[in-house]
Structure 1
Amino acid sequence: MSSPQLNDVSFEISHHRGPDFLTDIRIKAIHTTSTDTVATLRAFKILRQFCKGSFLEAMDCITGELHQFSVKLFDKYGLYQGAGLGYRILEQLVESTYVQMADTLMCWPAPSRVSDPTEWVKIQKRQINFFRQFGFRRVGRTDFFAYSPDPTHPSHSIPISGDAENLSEAFDSSAETGLSKQDMARKYPLHTIIMNSTGGQWVINTIRAHYLADESSIHVANAQGFTPIHIALKKANVDAVRTLLDLGVMDDLQKSQNAEGVTPLEGLTEAMQSNRDFAETLLGQWDSGYSADELTCEFLIKRALGMPTMPNDLQEYIAQRKWGCTCGSCAGGWLSKRMQFRLLCQAGMYEDMMEGEKSQFLQGKPHSDPMSLCDNASSYLPPHLHASVFKMFYIGFQSVFRAIIIALKNPDYLFGKDLISALSAGQRGVNFYFGKGGKIEYALDAITDAALEQSLLGSGDFEDTWDEEDDFKNLPMCDADLEFGLVRRMMGLNPAMRWGPY
């Protein structure tokens, strides 16, 4: 069949709904005479606000490409490429109701089913040129490209010739692809030693020996532009980092002329984040925190650069930073002041609402339908407990919330189940609540889940209410402010278990 003309093609658009955050959009280009499908496009519309802080995990569950933050575009019939069909079918997506003015289309030009490396590069360059012709521009120096339907978006003022190139293109290491490990070790001895070891006296002695033989050896950049201190930090090789700092690599700490465009400290930060993302995405939870070696390296480099380290003692720094605290004020290194405040507000709201629902109980009888109570908290009690929700059970449940409020109000307390258990001991109804199978976790589940729903990861109602209030805005900001998953795990809410609302 000869290549179709654009006037010979009609388009069909459909969509398939998956999870709340995802719409799978399909477009077919159909030859009007033969009714053959001559091209297809598949795109995913992703509503990040519905991922609730689990964006990486959610994407990984769909496809590998989505895990790399991309929109997957494929053409079944390469025979028709270059006839204007690719441009037209992409235009159909942009003009459809699935793409709004405020949306951003992302793509990752990467040929599929091409095994020859030379051919792969050739096709990728053609794909990149195609997307640029349409109006896509590179996101920073990454492999990804973005397009805004908004004609006033600044990206539309960037000419194709002015679009950024991928940093890796300026550092061609293809000449070293065929080198053996022995050849690479001879060419970059310090890089190889640091990369393939975890430290020890042998590494220290070897680095010093190379330095004594040639002082410039500790500053040599490999084909990708990385110096030994870059490698030492990426590997969190503490002994190598200490030795290189002692020998003098201050100038190298400022260098970012490499395939990733990062300074040594930025490279360490990216490696730490990558390890965390891997654990949270593929293993389901980040249960070990940042390693002592990673944080020791971070501490040493920050001190060398004259940057603040929060606690000035290394062991205190490791304890404070282990779970990602960046403000220096997180209780236990994981509960930030802003998270503490929003949980306190939610606990107080539940406690107040429950007070007004006590009148809904009949003496000596369980509530006929606890899910109908207007407190929202009762929906976090599992169904097998509903027959036990007497008024005294309910009062005990409320007492647990009251204990949580006391714990959150006191910054000197180490928040957790043991503390809440101690604070609730002797309170009215608590023994009845626990005796019937009630748990502290049900209250913690209710508080954290509702706080998540009202945060910027959900509706944003909490920020709308509190952002301009001194009680909230004067609290220190921290990377841990929206780490609900971490907070829930630290409170004993196993992510592998089924939690409410039921």
Structure 2
Amino acid sequence: MFRRKVHKTTSSHVVNGRSCTLQTRCEPNFEAESIYDFAYTLRPSDAPPKSDPIASAYGHVILRDMLGESRQWYTEMDAPSDETAQLSKLFDSRGRLLEEHISNPYLRGKGVWGHELSEGSILLVTVLRVDESHRRQGLATWLLNHLLSESSIQLEPTQYFDIPGIPPRTPTATCPFAMAWPSALVPARLTKEQREEQWDAALKTFRGVGFRRIGRTAFFARALTDTSHPSLTLAAQDDAGPAATPGATDGLGPDGLPLPPPPSLSPFLRGLIQPEWTDNGHRYPLHALMLTSTSDEYIIDTLSKLTTETERAHICMADPTALNATPLHYAAMQARTPVIEKLLSLGAQESLFALTSDGFTPLDYLQQAMRDKRAFVLTFQVRSWPGQTRNCVLSQAVLLEAMGKPVPNENAVKWGCTCGQCVEGWFSPVMCYQIHVHAELATDFVRDGLEMEAEVQGRTRLFKSSTLDMIPFMDYLPKSIRDPGMYASFINGYSAVFRAIARVTESKIIPTADVVLRHALEAEYFDAQAVRFFLEKGGKVEHALNGLLHTAREQGPGGDGDFLETFGEEMGTLPTCENDEDYILLRSNLRIPPDLNGPLSGSWLETSRASDAASFGGGFGTDGDSSDVEGMCEGDSEEENDEEMEEEEAEKEDDQDVDMSDDEEGEDEGKPDNDR
């Protein structure tokens, strides 16, 4: 019987001279496949079973390797809790710690954490609670130490069905690091004084058991398996503080230092100030102007009117209340390309390498904004993302050129290519190779299905639905096509579509539906006829593409890994790219309808070919016109069409038995008179 597996343990301990019972529980998270929830509860041994625990700890085990390979890092981390969602932002889409927390002179903090945080599963503590009547007795420290002593967490059995005589196998997840967000453990309902008191207590507890801040973020980490990790020798009092945040309080800047006197403003600059602007905007009107919804044209016109030396000094002025950002920082963050160019023409080159208090250049601000956009797309599985905006692409090019750095290909920037070899910036070599291999395999798998038992109707063969269930890739065809059964010619056409996809990808061409169909219809005569029959009876190239992408994802690095076991050596010779395993991007740019996302269990809602051509770029030819297909067998019954195809297939087999020098003649003899 299928059921949700939960791993539980119960153990006895003596804590502060008192006998206690510790219960643990670990189970899959309901919303994220690669995240598990754990709970540790401590009760006096003589307490009633249902009584409240005197101490408890809750959190998640994050199987980072699975999330990173499947490109589900942001999506799944967003679901379980606010802590997982916030933690995900410290990493890229593959779960690797962002470089700024490693190499940025300011954001790296004490520099005790590096690329090691990019590997292995994570033990994330989200709740550490002690009953009020038992506080200040060391229970939180005891429970936390006990939790950290178990770097290998028992997960639920992988066997989901009870099989008599075969005990389920219980896997483990070894977590080299534990992480926590101590300030998030404090309830928001408390007063400011109470929150600050509990923040201090939480920080003291976590630092007391070896947690140290990750750079200058709000998160702390603790090495569990590496006993020589540098973080373990960093004294708690020497740990880094949090990053400075923009704003000024009582005449002090974000860094706690006294603010310099406000800059002098000419009547023209003073006239730019808007009533709704903050005090900061009143001090630095050019900075504030960059962040408004004001048009680029207005800002450029304003910059052109800066005539005096005092006014032009504001072009490169750092705002101490905003982490010492300059107008160029803000223009870059907003991707205001014309404004960036104007600022540079007025002498803002010295701001190109200017660092804010948190160590960012204007280019860093822009790239961070672009990265955040991509993270949003991945988090919410946005299918219609058009890539980075043209302003972002051009702004980066302008800044890089001004800094004397190479400017990457426009398409590569737009789609996030990091290998430099993606076709049109998004179809990576790894993805092309996987689809090509799966298409070759699918060609044979589907064609081999013709060897299975079929019902003979005259000179035709009809494969019943029960037989089709045993042929690979048939579950990617609509039930409305599968349930009545399929003729052999339809299956031949389906196989020919896969063969066309294999040929297209072998040539490193993006396999859009119209490109694949053109190649399929330009194939040898009998394959082209089979493809036409396939289309006439409701088949679509998108059905085959959907099957290939779903299979590649299920068997690839982010799935069960079966593909790597056979083709891993060849895959290892290809350049890796940020676009690898991004099947949402691939489906979107191949214009595969959202309805086609894995096996089709429901009926396919047929739409007109004209609608398909308008929505998905033309399904039956380069110009989207399907009249040649519709007129192919007009007036013939399905049986007559299939009989003709069966005869042609037989003639094709006969022709292939002759000497190669006779191939051309044999092919001509098999064609209708009007094709000779």
TM-score (norm 2): 0.65
Is the contact between residue 453 and residue 467 of structure 2 (CA under 8 Å) also seen in structure 1? no
Is 1:191 matched with 2:287?
yes
**Structure 1 residue aligned with 2:38, among 13, 22, 25?**
25
CA change 1:120–1:191 in 2 (3 A) is: farther
Is the contact between residue 41 and residue 73 of structure 1 (CA under 8 Å) also seen in structure 2? yes
Identity %: 25
Instruction: Give the SS at the match of 1:393.
Output: helix
Q: Which moved more, 1:137-146 or 1:204-213?
A: 204-213
**Structure 2 residue aligned with 1:330, among 405, 412, 422?**
422
**Structure 2 residue aligned with 1:242, among 341, 353, 363?**
341
State the partner residue of 2:371.
273
State the partner residue of 1:144.
219
State the partner residue of 2:203.
128
Instruction: Give unpaired runs (5+ residues) of structure 1.
Output: 312-316
Is 1:321 matched with 2:422?
no
Q: Which moved more, 1:456-465 or 1:175-184?
A: 175-184
**Structure 1 residue aligned with 2:84, among 47, 60, 66?**
66
Q: What are the equivalent positions in structure 2 for 1:278-357 lying under 5 Å apart?
A: 278-282=376-380, 284-285=382-383, 287-311=385-409, 317=410, 319-357=411-449
Mapped to 1, the partners of 2:65 and 2:474 lie a distance apart of 26
Q: What are the equivalent positions in structure 2 for 1:94-133 lying under 5 Å apart?
A: 94-96=148-150, 97-98=152-153, 100-109=173-182, 110=184, 111-114=186-189, 116-117=191-192, 119-133=194-208
Is the contact between residue 199 and residue 240 of structure 1 (CA under 8 Å) also seen in structure 2? no
Is the contact between residue 546 and residue 596 of structure 2 (CA under 8 Å) also seen in structure 1? no
**Structure 2 residue aligned with 1:47, among 54, 63, 69?**
63
Mapped to 2, the partners of 1:33 and 1:205 lie a distance apart of 78
Instruction: Give unpaired runs (5+ residues) of structure 2.
Output: 1-14, 88-123, 155-172, 254-274, 522-526, 602-676
Mapped to 1, the partners of 2:227 and 2:468 lie a distance apart of 49
Q: What are the equivalent positions in structure 2 for 1:171-182 lying under 5 Å apart?
A: 173-175=248-250, 181-182=277-278
Q: What are the equivalent positions in structure 2 for 1:395-414 lying under 5 Å apart?
A: 395-411=492-508, 413-414=509-510
Is 1:431 matched with 2:447?
no
Mapped to 1, the partners of 2:592 and 2:467 lie a distance apart of 22
Instruction: Give the SS at the match of 1:98.
Output: strand
Structure with higher Rg: it is 2
TM-score (norm 1): 0.86
Mapped to 1, the partners of 2:307 and 2:393 lie a distance apart of 26
Mapped to 1, the partners of 2:225 and 2:397 lie a distance apart of 44
State the partner residue of 1:314.
none
Deviation at 1:56, TM superposition (A): 1.4
Over residues 362-410 of structure 1, what are the superposed CA-to-partner deviations in whole Å (9 max), with x where a residue is unaligned? 24221453565364x2343344432333332221111111111121122
Over residues 140-165 of structure 1, what are the superposed CA-to-partner deviations in whole Å (9 max), with x where a residue is unaligned? 33221222320435233433344333
Mapped to 1, the partners of 2:228 and 2:550 lie a distance apart of 36
**Structure 1 residue aligned with 2:317, among 220, 227, 241?**
220
Letter matched to residue 313 of structure 2? S
Whose helix fraction is larger, Structure 1's or Structure 2's?
1
Mapped to 2, the partners of 1:108 and 1:28 lie a distance apart of 20
Mapped to 2, the partners of 1:172 and 1:8 lie a distance apart of 51
Is the contact between residue 381 and residue 584 of structure 2 (CA under 8 Å) also seen in structure 1? no
Over residues 56-86 of structure 1, what are the superposed CA-to-partner deviations in whole Å (9 max), with x where a residue is unaligned? 1222232233211264224263454432111
Letter matched to residue 458 of structure 1? G
Mapped to 2, the partners of 1:92 and 1:496 lie a distance apart of 48
Letter matched to residue 349 of structure 2? M
Over residues 229-282 of structure 1, what are the superposed CA-to-partner deviations in whole Å (9 max), with x where a residue is unaligned? 2111111122321122222333432233424x3222122111112123224434
State the partner residue of 1:386.
482
Mapped to 2, the partners of 1:243 and 1:66 lie a distance apart of 41
Letter matched to residue 291 of structure 2? M
Q: Which moved more, 1:320-329 or 1:434-443?
A: 320-329
Is the contact between residue 380 and residue 445 of structure 1 (CA under 8 Å) also seen in structure 2? yes
Deviation at 1:41, TM superposition (A): 1.7
CA change 1:72–1:486 in 2 (3 A) is: same
Over residues 3-61 of structure 1, what are the superposed CA-to-partner deviations in whole Å (9 max), with x where a residue is unaligned? x9463432111233335312221221213344442222211112234442122122223
Mapped to 2, the partners of 1:417 and 1:359 lie a distance apart of 28
State the partner residue of 1:488.
587
Is the contact between residue 315 and residue 326 of structure 2 (CA under 8 Å) also seen in structure 1? yes
Is the contact between residue 21 and residue 43 of structure 2 (CA under 8 Å) also seen in structure 1? yes
Deviation at 1:497, TM superposition (A): 5.5
Mapped to 2, the partners of 1:82 and 1:180 lie a distance apart of 48
State the partner residue of 1:449.
550
Over residues 90-125 of structure 1, what are the superposed CA-to-partner deviations in whole Å (9 max), with x where a residue is unaligned? 233334452754443221122232454555444334
Letter matched to residue 588 of structure 2? R
Aligned residue-pair number: 487
Mapped to 2, the partners of 1:205 and 1:289 lie a distance apart of 30
Is 1:84 matched with 2:138?
yes
Mapped to 2, the partners of 1:438 and 1:347 lie a distance apart of 17
Letter matched to residue 207 of structure 2? R
Is the contact between residue 330 and residue 336 of structure 1 (CA under 8 Å) also seen in structure 2? yes
Instruction: Give the SS at the match of 1:72.
Output: strand
CA RMSD of aligned residues (A): 3.1
Mapped to 1, the partners of 2:467 and 2:54 lie a distance apart of 57
Mapped to 2, the partners of 1:22 and 1:473 lie a distance apart of 28
